[in-house]
Amino acid sequence: MEVGISCGLFHSCLVVDGGLWVWGKGDGGRLGLGHESSMFVPTLNPHLDNVKSVALGGLHSVALTSAGEVFTWSESLQAYLNLMHF
């Protein structure tokens, strides 16, 4: 069994055997569930599988899969990742 955990400002994630469990405040989409509802018990994220590790910041989340894919989500990735769009 592989397990990992990360805590952000208002949300937390747990990785168990490739599944990503999330809970906390959902505003801004920080849980990555496709909606902004808060979840106060661990809820399996149906959009990601084969997760190897996860890192949370204040309002953003990053997951790495076993295939080497990196997924990020947050209230505003442009602001938190310093992305510029022209």
Specify the pTM: 0.84
pLDDT of res. 86: 36
Number of domains in the chain: 1
Domain contains 57: yes
Domain contains 85: no
Domain contains 10: yes
Domain contains 40: yes
Domain contains 18: yes
Domain contains 86: no
Q: Report the DSSP beta bridge partners of residue 39.
A: 24
Phi, psi of 32 (to 5 degrees): 75, 25
pLDDT of res. 84: 43
pLDDT of res. 58: 81
Range of 23's domain? Answer: 3-80
Model pLDDT for residues 33-82, shown as the tens digit of each residue: 888 899 999 999 999 999 999 999 887 889 999 999 998 887 665 545 54
Domain contains 15: yes
In the block, residue with structure tokens 């849980």: 31
Domain contains 38: yes
Residue 83, pLDDT > 80, answer no
